[in-house]
Amino acid sequence: MAGLMHPFQYDYDVIVIGAGHAGTEAAAAAARLGARTALLTVSLDTVGQMSCNPAIGGVAKGQIVREIDALGGLMGLAIDKTGIQFRMLNLRKGPAMHSPRAQADKRAYQNEIKRLIESQPNLDLRQEVVEDLVVEETSAGARIRGVAVRGGALYGANRVVITTGTFLRALMHTGEAQTPGGRAGEGTTTGISGALTRLGIELRRFKTGTPPRLNGRTIDYRRCEVQPGDEDPRPFSFLNDRIDEPQVPCHITYTNEAVHDLIRANLHRAPMYSGQIQSSGPRYCPSIEDKVVRFADKDRHQLFLEPEGRATHEVYVNGISTSLPRDVQDQLFRLIPGLERAQIMRYGYAVEYDFAPPEQLWPSLETKRVAGLYLAGQINGTTGYEEAGGQGLLAGANAALAARGAEPLVLARNDAYLGVLIDDLVTRGVDEPYRMFTSRAEYRLSLRHDNADRRLTPAAERVGLVDDERRRRFAAKSAEIEQAKQVIEGTKVGHETLAHFLVHPDSTWADVVARCPALAAVSREAAEQVTNDVKYAGYIGRQELEIQRVRRLAEKRIPPSFDFGAIKQLRTEAREKLLRVRPGSLAQAARISGITPADLALVRVYLDG
């Protein structure tokens, strides 16, 4: 690499630091776009590891996984191959709320992700500890030139993606005990935090937690409720037609007042309540300590017993994340039905770690402070495998696109949940670990899990993210949908077309097939698309008017060099927020918390002037 000379130097187009869910998607995306890519990780044995729950998807998260797949990503393919139970959530609600979720064979999932990474052309997987970032100061500002690793070697690249998860200056807490590390049994990373701070990138602290794991042989499942998977499981990947593997049941049990009394009696030993931890944690995924305090009126809380794989007895106890001391955790399970004799295999703990407030990023996920440096995943203040994977895919793709001089792939809020996610991060920032909810997406009726490929695969195809097989399957599905629409719009039964008949609230596709048997050959996926398109056309049409209004604002671009400080009439608060976020359009400026229509009018006057 020009500007770097070292006896141990390896040159690439894109370097990705960290091989978790964000890092593997980032590296694979960059490599799919033809960039010579290096994926650097502290341990090759933890590539794609599930640090917390052994599951993929869930409410809103399932939509993200299907979007990752529509963009050519890995997550959907891996969970389809290694899932042990598949469920479609919220089926009693409308299609915008339907969300796929699957329990994973944790070890098999990790191995499958590693296999996909090792099989990816243009991608080198290396075990390295990154200790510093190599940056050059130019007349245009700071620019990344590579990374320095332990042992003195250099990796040169003009594009670097950092996806370090919870490992930046990480500290684990179990009661009063504190251990450096971002995951049980593993260490922490300090050099990257120091490098980012030195470069002027602000860091703050968040915390997250994980529940204990139990030995399934010591659980009395007879005292628990059975939670089976779906009889007809749906795959996540648009490349797969069905799930054939037998499913494994989960189970449900509950806490009780005796458990709550024990927790209350030991709150002074809980790090979040003793003052040992000062960082913010996720409100929507509280620890059992938080649940007992915040929901004091509830006499029980639901716990899900989730197997971690087919070849292990280890069971994840979803709903009882805790950092209480070990002795309290031991006592706690003695009081829960079905778990009275359960043996803890891994104790729960909390983790504090550094993150970079995401307003410091452009929508491409490139840092504003250092050109060519991208951040993705929990380093941006998010939580969850799915949110991390989606950010990683787009950051890696944008790094590769920038390396060849192309425009970044930036998804709008009406394009995808991933568009909502990234716009929320870079425009509004975070004051707690961010996770996706359907309520965050104002266009969620259009952003369904079932149409993710129709929304995103054409854009992925334009930039080169998808392979020939995905392109072929998408074209065939699109043609099938259009043909089925033509049939129902052109076929009359009585005085109305089949399309008009299908609009009726009680009408189903099966009713349509009964009136036109030729439509029985239409695939389930195409039939679902046609049904949703027809039934919700009116709502989506009204939504489209709002999308067009926002699009007009988005077309009013704000140059990166625009001087908000020169608008003297702006309120001080508005000026400070606009300078911090540096919105790329009036639409993005309008979404900044505290920016008023009057502020926008002033910016527009100066833009037009």
Specify the CATH number for the domain of residue 233: 2.40.30.260
Number of C-beta neighbours around residue 369 at 10 A: 17
| 449 and 532 inside one domain | no
Please enumerate in sequence order all residues whose Cβ is within 8 A of that of 402, keeping only pairs 6 or more positions apart, or say none.
159, 364, 366, 372, 408
| 473 and 534 inside one domain | yes
Please enumerate in sequence order all residues whose Cβ is within 8 A of that of 504, keeping only pairs 6 or more positions apart, or say none.
none
Residue 88 lies in a domain: yes
Residue 314 lies in a domain: yes
Number of C-beta neighbours around residue 473 at 10 A: 17
Collapsing DSSP to helix, strand or coil, 517 comes out as helix
| 453 and 425 inside one domain | yes
* DSSP per-residue string spanning 419-479: HHHHHIIIII--SS-B---GGG-TTTTTS-STTHHHHHHHHHHHHT-S-HHHHHHHHHHHH
Which pLDDT tens digit goes with each residue over 198-218? Answer: 999 999 999 888 999 999 999
CATH number of the domain that residue 474 is part of: 1.10.10.1800
* Residue that terminates a domain, selected from 435, 462, 489: 462
Prediction pTM value: 0.93
| Sequence-ordered strand ranges (E) for 538-599 | none
Which pLDDT tens digit goes with each residue over 385-436? Answer: 999 999 999 999 999 999 999 999 999 999 999 999 999 999 999 999 999 9
| 327 and 219 inside one domain | yes
Q: What is the b/e burial string over 501-536, where b = at least 16 CB atoms within 10 angstroms of the residue's CB?
A: bbeeeebebeebbebeeebeebeebbbbbbbbbbbb
* Residue that terminates a domain, selected from 287, 313, 348: 348
Distance CA 268, CA 176 (A): 10
Identify the domain containing residue 599 by its residue range. Answer: 556-608
Q: Which helix (H) or strand (E) holds 89?
A: strand 83-89
Residue 7 has a pLDDT of: 64
| 298 and 392 inside one domain | no
Angle between helices 21-32 and 106-119 (to 10 degrees): 20
Residue 1 has a pLDDT of: 43
Residue 1 lies in a domain: no
Residue 173 has a pLDDT of: 83
CATH number of the domain that residue 567 is part of: 1.10.150.570
Let me know: does 477 contact 451? Beta carbons within 8 Å. no
| 305 and 451 inside one domain | no
| 335 and 359 inside one domain | no
* Residue that terminates a domain, selected from 480, 511, 540: 540
Residue 391 has a pLDDT of: 98
| 193 and 329 inside one domain | no
Residue 548 lies in a domain: no
Residue 549 lies in a domain: no
CATH number of the domain that residue 99 is part of: 3.50.50.60
| 442 and 473 inside one domain | no
| 449 and 497 inside one domain | no
Please enumerate in sequence order all residues whose Cβ is within 8 A of that of 327, keeping only pairs 6 or more positions apart, or say none.
none
Residue 542 has a pLDDT of: 87
Let me know: does 320 contact 348? Beta carbons within 8 Å. yes
Residue 2 has a pLDDT of: 43
Inter-CA distances, 8 with 11, 37, 315, 462, Å: 10, 17, 45, 37
Residue 552 has a pLDDT of: 83
Q: In the chain, which stretches have pLDDT less than 70?
A: 1-7, 183, 185, 187, 279, 281-282, 284, 609
Residue 114 lies in a domain: yes
| 205 and 220 inside one domain | no
Let me know: does 444 contact 540? Beta carbons within 8 Å. no
Residue 196 lies in a domain: yes
Residue 4 lies in a domain: no
| 184 and 315 inside one domain | no
The domain tally of the chain equals 4
